[in-house]
Structure 1
Amino acid sequence: MSDSRQGEARPKFALGKVYATPGALQLLKRWKQDPTALLSRHVRGDWGLVHPDDAAANDIAVGRGLRIISSYLAGPEGPGGEGEVLWIITEADRSATTLLLPGEY
């Protein structure tokens, strides 16, 4: 793919143990969103809604063993959409990945 933000077919890094905060679980349940779909995007390098500078930092973080942060919209997208933001953070040592709301950081 020509756009690295769309990700690749294979995982770029290990997720470690996967955790989700209560707020993230409620959000996913409310919008009937599958967390595995978001985790799949994250691990393949589709960083979602992050700023292009942050996406570039994530690309560097993959190779250097630094923390990786993605941001996705759960719920309806597009004009008038009521979607809510969910973050996924993988720790630098790749021991854990957490799904959380921005306010829970």
Structure 2
Amino acid sequence: MLSDHMLSSATRVRRAGPVRRRLFSLGRAVATPGALDALSAAGVSALALLRRHQGGDFSELDAEDRQSNWEAIETGARLLSSYSVGSTRIWVITEAADDEGTRASTCLLLPQEY
């Protein structure tokens, strides 16, 4: 689980424009050691990526995956975002807990950790 310090570290947040509306719940936010290392090396906070993901900025996905995400917001299915952080790609995946739109958790991870 991400600590409050990791999520609130103002010195590491890179602003991605105005704060977007939250389109869905993240559930419990977690990250793999590989993702945390990549974020730290690039000086990017986990919170910045979580906010982009939750606001509908799914970043480097093709049109089909973007459409799947928009449908998932309505149906409660899994959501995926992909971001370049330095020279590393980080995925953000929000898992569904049920078909009612309840989100179990959101994980930041490297694709090879999937």
Same fold (TM over 0.5): yes
Q: Report the TM-score, using the length of structure 2 for normalisation.
A: 0.77
User: Structure 1: any 5+ residue segments left out of the alignment?
Assistant: 1-7, 76-82
Q: What residue in structure 1 maps to residue 67 of structure 2?
A: 56
Paired position in structure 2 for 1:88: 92
Please report the TM-score for the alignment, with normalisation by the length of structure 1. 0.83
Confirm or deny: 8 A CA contact 2:20 2:51 kept in the other structure. Answer: no
Name the structure, 1 or 2, with higher relative contact order (CA <8 Å, separation 6+). Answer: 1
Structure 2: distance between partners of 1:38 and 1:71: 9
Counterpart for residue 19 of structure 1: 30
Q: CA deviation at 1:23?
A: 0.5
Structure 1 residue ranges (4+ consecutive) displaced by more than 2 angstroms after TM superposition: none
Number of the residue aligned with 1:47: 58
Question: How much has 1:9 moved relative to structure 2?
Answer: 2.5
**Root mean square deviation, CA, Å:** 1.1
Specify every segment of 5 or more residues in structure 2 that has no aligned partner in the other structure, as ranges.
1-18, 98-102
Separation in 1 of the partners of 2:61 and 2:67? 10
